C-alpha cells in the first residue's frame, strides 16, 4: 500500500503537478517514533514536576522557607504558607504573584494549638481536602550556655520546633492520605546529628525531629506518605544571623563553621530548597525515613 502526495505550483502561467509516492510503512514508523518520543517526554516530565500538587510550608516568608516556597511553586505546585505577620505574608504574596507563582497565605502562630487547627482547616478548604506536600520549616533558636537556659526558653524552643511540627503532621494526615501521594519534609539541622556549642535546646528539638521523621515514615508508609528530613549546615538565613548577632561567641562559632566546610563558605538558601523540592518529586518516590545532611561537607 502506498500514499500519494501531490504538490502544485504556478510557473509561467502553466500548472505543473508532481506526485511523490511514499510507502505507508514510512508514515507508520514516523508516527510511532513521534508517539514514543512524546510518551517518554511526558513520563519524564511527570517524574520531575509538581504540577497539580498542593503544598503547605510553615514559616514561608523568609530565609529557607521563602526559598522553599519559590522552589515548589516553580516546579508547579500550589503552595500555602503561614506566618505570624500578615504584613510579611502580603509582601511575599505580591512578590510571588508578579512571578506568576500560585501561592496563598494565612496568619498562624504555631505556638498556639487552636491556631494550628485553624490553619489546617484553611488548608483543607483551599485545597479541597487534599495535601501532597507538607514542609515543616518554622523554627526558632535561643543561643545560650546550657547553665543559662530557663524553663521558659526550653518550653518555647521545644514547642515551636518539635511540638508544633508533630501536631501539624497529625492534623495534616487525613489530607495527605486523601491525596494518594504524600511527602513530608522536616527542616532539621546538623546540630541534631553533631554537637554544636550554645544551641543545646535547639539541637535537642532537632534530634527529636529526626527520630520522629523515621517513625512517621514507618507508620505512614501504608498510606503512601513518605517522610524525610533535611539537615542544613551553616546557611545564611535570618536564624543564623540571629546567632551571629547574639554574642561574640555566636559570631565566632558561625564564621568558624563556615571556614570548616569543605567548600569553605556559608550555604545559600536555594541550595537547600533544591534538595527539599527533589524529595517532594515523584522521582524521589523510593526515598523515605532519611535524614539528609546538606552542609558543604562540614560533618565529613
Residues designated catalytic: 202
Report the SS3 class of residue 291.
strand
Q: What is the DSSP string of 160-176?
A: IIIIHHHHHHHHHHHHH
Residue 62 has which C-alpha cell?
Answer: 523568609
CA 256, CA 262: separation in Å to the nearest integer?
Answer: 12
Task: Give how far the C-alpha of residue 23 lies from the chain's centroid of Cα atoms, to the nearest Å.
Answer: 52
Side-chain-side CA neighbours of residue 80 (13 Å): 22
Report the SS3 class of residue 149.
coil
Q: Which residue has the cell 510503512?
A: 25
Helix (H) or strand (E) holding 72: helix 63-74
Of 135, 124, 120, nearest to 179 (Cα)?
A: 124
Taking a C-beta distance cutoff of 8 angstroms, is the pair 210, 188 a contact?
yes
Angle at 186 between CA 148 and CA 170, to 5 degrees: 100
Q: What residues does 3 pair with on adjacent strands?
A: 22
Tally Cβ neighbours within 10 Å of residue 18.
9
Q: 76, exposed or middle or buried, with CB in 10 Å at 0-12, 13-18, 19+?
A: middle
Q: What residues does 17 pair with on adjacent strands?
A: 8
Amino acid at each position: 500500500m502506498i500514499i500519494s502526495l501531490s504538490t502544485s505550483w504556478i510557473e509561467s502561467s502553466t500548472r505543473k503537478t508532481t506526485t511523490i509516492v511514499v510507502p505507508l510503512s514510512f508514515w507508520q514508523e514516523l508516527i510511532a517514533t513521534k508517539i514514543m518520543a512524546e510518551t517518554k517526554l511526558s513520563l519524564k516530565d511527570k517524574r520531575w514536576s509538581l504540577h497539580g500538587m498542593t503544598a503547605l510550608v510553615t514559616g514561608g516568608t523568609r530565609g529557607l522557607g521563602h526559598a522553599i516556597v519559590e522552589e515548589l511553586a516553580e516546579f508547579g505546585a500550589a503552595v500555602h504558607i503561614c506566618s505570624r505577620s500578615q504584613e510579611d505574608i502580603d509582601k511575599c504574596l505580591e512578590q510571588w504573584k508578579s512571578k506568576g507563582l500560585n501561592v496563598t497565605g494565612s496568619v498562624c502562630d504555631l505556638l498556639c494549638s487552636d491556631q494550628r487547627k485553624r490553619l489546617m482547616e484553611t488548608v483543607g478548604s483551599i485545597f479541597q481536602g487534599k495535601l501532597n506536600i507538607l514542609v515543616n520549616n518554622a523554627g526558632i533558636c535561643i543561643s545560650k550556655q546550657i547553665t543559662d537556659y530557663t524553663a521558659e526558653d526550653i518550653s518555647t524552643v521545644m514547642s515551636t520546633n518539635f511540638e508544633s511540627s508533630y501536631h501539624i503532621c497529625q492534623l495534616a494526615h487525613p489530607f495527605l492520605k486523601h491525596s494518594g501521594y504524600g511527602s513530608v519534609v522536616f527542616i532539621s539541622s546538623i546540630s541534631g546529628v553533631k554537637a554544636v556549642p550554645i544551641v543545646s535546646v535547639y539541637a535537642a528539638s532537632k534530634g527529636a525531629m529526626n527520630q520522629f521523621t523515621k517513625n512517621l515514615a514507618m507508620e505512614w508508609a501504608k498510606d503512601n506518605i513518605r517522610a524525610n528530613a533535611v539537615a542544613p549546615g551553616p546557611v545564611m538565613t535570618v536564624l543564623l544571623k540571629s546567632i551571629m548577632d547574639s554574642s561574640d561567641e555566636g559570631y565566632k562559632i558561625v564564621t568558624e563553621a563556615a571556614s570548616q566546610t569543605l567548600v569553605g563558605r556559608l550555604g545559600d538558601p536555594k541550595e537547600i530548597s533544591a534538595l527539599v523540592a527533589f524529595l517532594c518529586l515523584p522521582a524521589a518516590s523510593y526515598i523515605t525515613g532519611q535524614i539528609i545532611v546538606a552542609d558543604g561537607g562540614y560533618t565529613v
